[in-house]
Amino acid sequence: MSSDHSSQNLSVLSDASQSNADHSSLQAKQFSLASDAMKNTLPVMQTLEHWLNSHKPLKGCQQPLYIAYSGGMDSSVLLHALHQLIYVQSDLSKQFSLTVLHINHNLQAEANDWQQFCQQQVRQLSVAFQTKKLQLDSFKRQGIEAVARKARYQALTEMVASDFKARGSLKSLAAPVLLFAHHQRDQAETVLLNLFRGAGVPGMSGMPESRALECYECLNDNLILHRPLLKVSYQAMLDYAKSVELSFIEDPSNQDNQFRRNWLRNNLLPDIEKLWPDVQQKVSDSAGHISEANLLLDKMAQSGLESSCFSFDFIELRALEEVDWIEQKNIIRYWLSVFFPGVVLSKKHYQWLYVLVFSLQGDNRVQNAAYKMRSYELRWQYQRLYILPKWFTEHNEQAAKDYCRGIEWASIAKLKSNIDSSGLQGRVINPGYTFKFNVVHAKAGLVCKPIAHLDEGAVNKKALKNFFQQHRIPPWLRVFWPVLQDDEGRILAVLGCQNCLQNLSPTEKSQVEPRTLEMSYLQILQILQLR
């Protein structure tokens, strides 16, 4: 073999060795990158894997999961990670189903493009997708963020209800769950914003990891909202998105610092983090501690409420020598959270109430008073605090005639006679009143109407007044108080008051076994759309 040939072979071997070395180096680099990528996805994946394991449905059932998907980074991470865990890394499709919900707020020029982008992203995953376009009303007073948030929650609930109802024939479905992608930084922002607004303990608790939304088409009438990533840091979310090379929408309005949350995120938090780098985690931890304190306050309030006189629209307050004001405030707060979620009284409202409760100690008790809020009106009557929708307080006797023409008894019977009140059902003061009338004169097609429809002289006013006072029926309900009429127009009875009709014969009044139909206080409120 010639030296030139040997040299050539050595050269080839050298090139091959270099190639193998380069390939090994490339493999090592790729492995390192893959390891880094896997490491960067762990906080999100482990958190969601734990959440799925703790929310597995009963054997033979499937848990419908609905993801609120804006197309932004947060919800894109939630969608991608859940899809990986349910359909790719392991087959959990028999236990969980994914449906993606997108709300088009129609507030920006790019809104329709974002909707199309979301649809394309979801199509690549072969997951069910639904969208809804909103037309928001004026938001000058409340602010665009508050109006959009309220409309978004309502739209998402309606979409889940519609989809769940369409699948209602599947008895193997568990109660639906709506998932939001809020994370640790979102929680820190919420707590700080509430702090600056002067919030109480519930506000300083921040966003709960889960809560029930009213959804009458859903199982048990509830839709459960979960935030499984609430304890995951923003950086971990961002690392996940970069590691798996997610495409997502960057909303330019997030840089608009006229919105307080944006200003806090873009200016205040970065400055605080210069001194306290882990401020987001610390604020989130504090929210958790305060949330535990809030649970204890709720337990105390529930115990106090159960020993009080209350119903779906009122709570009876007591003199300060019986129950101190701090405890009564806590009970009022809890009562509102059960029956009027989202209604929070301010310092001014409680000051107004304190004056009324303080007056119970002396001889100059305040008999009635009112405080107008934005959407509701507080009323004080019979030592009770009532809360009424603003639109209802504008009704008068003529409105009663126009507003409530008549409801067939069959429709009333279908109304709920009680509601789940977080363990308070059965303890709620929900007096049932009865119609008692002569069976002989009762025709088919019974109709319930407000008493304002009766002709002058048809009612024994003295008996009716005594009935209202004895049962403490507030004045604003009296013109709507139900009477029973047959299909020939004959007035048969006034609800709860046997002696209120003038045109009853002695035989009818003395009848031993009249026909009886029951109607609950809640059903009355439902007819008037007060519950």
From 50, 34, 45, 30, select the one nearest 88 (Cα to Cα).
45
DSSP state of 323: S
Sheet holding 407-408, edge to edge: 407-408, 447-450, 482-485, 491-494
70 is in an annotated binding site: yes
**Whole-angstrom Cα distance, residue 118 to residue 122?**
6
Structure tokens, 409: 């008894």
End-to-end CA distance of the chain: give it in Å, rounded: 102
Q: What number of other Cβ atoms are within 10 A of residue 81's Cβ?
A: 24
Is 72 annotated among the ligand-binding residues? yes
To the nearest 10°, the Cα dihedral for 403, 407, 412, 416? Answer: -20
Q: What is the pairing mode between strands 222-226 and 177-179?
A: parallel
CA quadruple 317, 323, 325, 327: dihedral sign: negative
Q: Does 363 count as an annotated binding residue? A: no
Q: CA–CA separation, 379 vs 148, rounded Å?
A: 30
Pairing of strands 407-408, 432-437: unpaired
Give the pairing type, strands 96-104 and 128-133: parallel
Query: Does the annotation flag 71 for ligand binding?
Result: yes
Q: What does the longest C-alpha to C-alpha distance in the chain come to?
A: 138
Burial (0-12, 13-18, 19+ Cβ within 10 Å), 324: exposed
Closest by alpha carbon to 209, among 183, 188, 186, 230? 230
Q: Judge contact between 466 and 497, C-beta under 8 A.
A: no
Please name every residue paired with 348 in a beta bridge, in sequence order, or none if there are none: none
User: Which residues contribute to the annotated binding site for ATP?
Assistant: 70-75
User: Which residues contribute to the annotated binding site?
Assistant: 70-75
